[in-house]
Structures are given as C-alpha cells and as structure tokens.
Amino acid sequence: MKDEAIYRRLFRTALLIRLVEERIIELYPSDKIQSPVHLSIGQEAVAVGVCDGLKPDDLVFATYRSHGFYIAKGGSLDAMFAELYGRKGGVSGGKAGSMHLAAPEVGLMGSSAVVASTIPHAVGAALSFKRRGLSQIAVAVFGDGATEEGVYHESLNFAALMKVPVLFLCEDNGLAVHSHRPVRQSYRLAEHAASFGIASRRLEEGWDMLAIRQATLEAAAKVRAGEPFVLEIVTSRYKEHVGVGEDFHFNYRTSDGVDAWKRRDPLIVDQKLVATLRPDIEREIEAAVAFAEASPAPGRDELLADVI
C-alpha cells in the first residue's frame, strides 16, 4: 500500500479520536458522563501510529488516558460512549468508565488509573505468548511519569531476564499531572533501558503518524524475535490533566509548547482532509451517542455481578 493510502487511513482514525473527544467536551457540561476523563487530544498520533504498526492480535495494556488506544485498536464506538455514560451497553457494562477502558475482544486489556500499574501485566502476557509458542506481542503503554515508579524498573529487569516479547511504549508529554520532568527525573530513559541490555529509540516527531507507525513496525519486529524494546515517543497534551478544559491559566506551563506542536499537527494543518472525512465521522459519533442515550442504566444485579 502506498504511503498516501496508509496516511489517509491513519489520519481518519486520528480524526475520529479527536472528534470523539471534542464531542465528549461538548457533552461534559450536561453531566451525562459522570466520571473523570483524561483526554488525549494532541496525542492521537501515538495511539494511531502504534496500533497500525501492530498486528490485530497484539495486546495493548494502557492507562487512564486511553480513549485513543481504544479507538485505534478497533474498539466499538457505541460501546465506548455507552461506557462513558455508565450504561448497560457499555463495553464493561458501565463499571470501567473512561479510566479503566478495556476491550479485550480487540486486544485492549484493562487500563489503570494508578500510574505504571499495567506495565507488569504486559510482561506476564508476553510470557504466556512465549510459553505457548505464539507470535503475538504485548505492548505496555505508559507516560514519562510512570518510569519513575519502581514497577517500571522491575518490569524491564524481569522482561530482559525472561526475554519475553514486550514493547515498552512511553508517551512522553513531559508532564506528570502538573509537574515537569526536571523536578522528577535524574536519569535518561535510554541509558536506563540499556543497563538491562534493552534497546530503545526516542522519536521526537510525535505528530508524525507515519513515522510512529514505521518506528513501531521496526520495534515490533525486534520484539517478536524475543527482545524487549523501549520506544519513546515525544508528544503533547493539549488539554488539562483531567477534565475537558485547558490549563494554561494556572500558569504552571505556557501555551507556547502546545502552540508549536499545533503548527505541526496534521489534524490542524490538513484542513482539506479534515473537511473531506468529517461528515462521515460525525455521523458515526452521533450514532454512538444515540446508542448510549438509549442504553438502559445498570441496577443492583449488575452491581453485584462479576465480583468473584
């Protein structure tokens, strides 16, 4: 397939993610989504490029900021909106909400609101693939802040010892809630990975979906051959850490960095393609919202189900 066709496919998915999240922003004041949302606006290229570089049965273990990965992995849009609405038709019947979004049927495993907690899950799944002679790989998705948790270090160590097919994917937006990297990190991720014998790559062009896809294809090939790999992708979180607004007025960061990023953001730059794709995507989103609106609320039976 020519790059142009691939680009169009990636662009469509990225635009879908952005428009879904923009619809969430519109809906949020209505209080129909009664739980925290962590928007990935600005970071869509990572989810899209990575998931397109994976095989459909590769697994992704992600975070509370996973609307993008859910959609990029092919999760049902109807079930996603119903989940955000907390309805029976939700992908987890309303028990996951935005923060624990999971769609194992398309390879998105349970996500976590506790930073770094799903990283070892990917290592365990990868061991299962290896033991059973499968060619699948597991991808641990986390932010740069997660690398400060001990479990990140522990997981890299064990993955290297066991030589399991796991890709450690760091979405580096430089922020942990409202804290910048210089107050948090005294190490360099690549050097840390290298100390375990794990190869790594840092991609600065986190707006470039094709470059991310290519980097993922290359990294996944190494991982599939049995070597863990760390792929760091620089990206930009446009919105506040949690919620649907912006946060520049809190003065912990300026809008300069985000503005510079927006000037390269294909979803902003390529308005012609946006205009072409938008109507169809909007119809898809409206159908999903209507599905959520019509889905019944869960009750006591659902509360008590699936505990043990």
Partner 1 sequence: MRKLDYAGAIREATTQEMERDSRVFVYGIGVPTWSSIFGTTKGIPEKFGKERCFDTPISEDAMTGFGLGAAIRGLRPIHVHIRVDFMILATNQLINMVSNYTYSTGGKLKVPLVVRAVIGRGWGQGAQHSKALFSNFTHIPGLKVIAPTTPSDMKGMMIAAIRDDNPVICFEHRWLYWAEEDVPEEPYEIPLGVGRILRPGKDVTVVGLSWMNVEARLAADILAKRGVSVEIVDPRTLAPLDENLIVESVKRTGRCIIADCDWVDSGFSAELSARINEKCFGKLKAPVKRIGFAQTPAPTVRELENEFYPNAKTIVHAVEDMLGLEAANLDGEDFFSHERRFRGPF
Nearer to partner 1, 3 or 105 (CB): 105
Nearer to partner 1, 81 or 261 (CB): 81
CA-based nearest residue to 40, from 30, 32, 50, 31:
50
Per-residue CA distances from 189 to 161, 238, 241 (Å): 19, 23, 23
Nearer to partner 1, 93 or 143 (CB): 93
User: From the CB of residue 28, how many other CB atoms can be counted at a distance below 10 Å?
Assistant: 17
DSSP three-state, residue 243: strand
- Contact flag: residue 57 with partner 1 (CB under 8 A): no
Nearer to partner 1, 135 or 255 (CB): 135
- Contact flag: residue 277 with partner 1 (CB under 8 A): no
Number of residues near partner 1 (by CB under 8 A) = 43
- Contact flag: residue 181 with partner 1 (CB under 8 A): no
Look-up of token digits 């909106």: 81
Interface characters, 98-127, with partner 1 (x: CB under 8 A)? --x-x-xx---xx-x-x--xxxxxxxxxxx
Q: Give the nearest distance from C-beta 293 to partner 1 in angstroms.
A: 20
Q: Where are the beta strands (DSSP E) in the chain?
A: 59-61, 138-143, 166-172, 175-176, 179-180, 199-203, 229-234
Structure tokens at 153: 């270090």
- Contact flag: residue 150 with partner 1 (CB under 8 A): yes
Residue 304 neighbours by CB under 8 Å, 6+ apart: none
- Contact flag: residue 200 with partner 1 (CB under 8 A): no
CA distance linking residue 177 with residue 283, whole number of Å: 33
- Contact flag: residue 73 with partner 1 (CB under 8 A): no
Q: Give the nearest distance from C-beta 54 to partner 1 in angstroms.
A: 16
Structure tokens at 224: 């599939």
CA distance linking residue 28 with residue 244, whole number of Å: 7
Exactly one of 75, 93, 145, 165 binds partner 1 (CB under 8 A); that residue is 93
The binding site for partner 1 (CB under 8 A) comprises: 59, 61, 90-93, 95-96, 100, 102, 104-105, 109-110, 112, 114, 117-129, 131-132, 138, 150-151, 154-155, 157-158, 161, 305-308
